[in-house]
Amino acid sequence: MSSTADETTIAPTTADDIGRNLTLIRDEIVDTAAKINEQELAALAAHLRQPGQVFVAGAGRSGLALRMTAMRLMHLGLSVHVAGDTTTPAIGSEDLLLVASGSGTTSGVVKSAETAAKAGARIAAFTTNAESPLAKLADVVVIIPAAQKTDHGTSVSRQYAGSLFEQVLFLATEAIFQSLWDNTDEPAEKLWLRHANLE
């Protein structure tokens, strides 16, 4: 691989490199997911069962993980919207805003939560920081004990930036979906009928 002044030189990657890092990532995910308070996840699941629409808001890779969550909740038959999409309606007092920010300070996410709070909506937040502005706005908080993306060199994770938070966020939301689905009588075939057919 050639490089210029603005490029990074990357040495050849071996199968041993890949194996070592698969193990690293797997072990970090398993360790961190095991530390999540399951009662916090259950409390969030209870909010999803209440009447009203569900809105999701997150930035960057956390936002992408929440988009995946939105899709699964839609498969369950919930009315779900992604903040910022052109067809997303106004949030109201019976609705739930589901947000994620590792630091709990991401400006756009905090602003969404402030707007939801003013509208009287409920707020559920995933974060690493229980004392963050986002956590203080939320009705239910799930703490993911991962490194924040600016914690370079931390002992919590050897992965780059907020990777561990985002990975465990995905697992946590999948566990909520699976648990909600387990408590319905809907077969997978019925959920599949709700899957997008304009792809």
Catalytic residues: 166
Residue 101 corresponds to which amino acid?
Answer: S
Helices (DSSP H) in the chain: which residue ranges? 15-34, 38-48, 60-75, 107-118, 133-137, 163-182, 188-192
Q: Contact, 58 vs 84, CB < 8 A?
A: no
Residue 11 corresponds to which amino acid?
Answer: A
Contacts of 67 (CB under 8 A, 6+ apart): 56, 82
3-state secondary structure of 70: helix
Q: Contact, 54 vs 69, CB < 8 A?
A: no
Give the DSSP letter of residue 128.
S
Distance of alpha carbon 136 from alpha carbon 78, whole angstroms: 26
Q: What is the chain's alpha carbon radius of gyration, rounded to the nearest angstrom? A: 18
